[in-house]
Amino acid sequence: MTTRTRSAPTTPFNLSRTTATAARVLRQLRHDPRTIALMILIPCVMLFLLRYVFDGNPRTFDSIGASLLGIFPLITMFLVTSIATLRERTSGTLERLLALPLGKADLIAGYALAFGTLAIIQSALATGLALWFLDLDVTGSPWLLLLVALLDALLGTALGLFVSAFAASEFQAVQFMPAVIFPQILLCGLFTPRDAMHPVLEGLSNALPMSYAVDGMNEVLNHTDMTATFLRDVLIVAGCALLVLGLGAATLRRRTA
């Protein structure tokens, strides 16, 4: 005879439970300095290398540096978040947490808050390095550049939380990068203007959030003030991040055994 146990009832979103979840994740990350170094330092190292790859042609760095300032944080946050969340899933931690009076919204918001805190630090360091040490020439406000970089990092966090539900191992989580991230890099307008692509690829590019992240960076690069296009771009990136976080919450299942 099998017994059936009921999971704890779902409760409405609660700020204290969300912050407690975020604090737990940050405590775990504190004991993993390699992961922290990957999230915070790798985008800075990549920008530093890129600057001196184009040492003989600084204008090239100016033209693509701003775009990559948004792409690098997205990639690193996607990679680290997907693997870290997968560990929680495969170790049974998420299952045990969902047996408590902890809503899905509390759990997913707590993870997003924890990784988002690191995303703020990462984006601030990368933006400061690019502007004040590597002399990235930007026409617009540095704060707008930081805003887009932060939203890109949060989008990477949301995508990582989402895809972790479909991987059975850390190796599989890494395999999602070519499927989820690489096509966006090719189609985002980094290598060629999107309106110069084949119409089918241009249409696909218009549906991908990284395209608007790059467009937003280019708006800051070329305009002194906030433009309507920039506002559209950041709203789309932020909206996509929230949508993917919602999809990530939908992948959480309470066990009834």
Which pLDDT tens digit goes with each residue over 18-54? 788 788 888 887 887 887 887 788 888 888 898 888 8
Pick the closest to residue 154 from 100, 118, 203 (CA basis).
118
Angle subtended at Cα 248 by Cα 152 and Cα 27, rounded to the nearest 5 degrees: 75
Structure-token pair, residue 236? 């789309």
Phi/psi of residue 45, each to 5°? -65, -40
Tokens representing residue 28 in the block: 């775990």
pLDDT at position 236 is 94
Reported as half-sphere exposure (CB side, CA atoms, 13 A), residue 105 has a value of 9
Is 229's pLDDT higher than 50?
A: yes
Convert the pLDDT of each residue in 59-117 to its tens digit.
Answer: 888 878 878 888 888 888 888 888 877 877 776 666 666 555 666 677 777 888 888 88
Comparing CA positions, the residue from 114, 122, 115 lying closest to residue 46 is: 122
Local structure of 130: helix, strand or coil: helix
20 with 103: CB under 8 angstroms? no
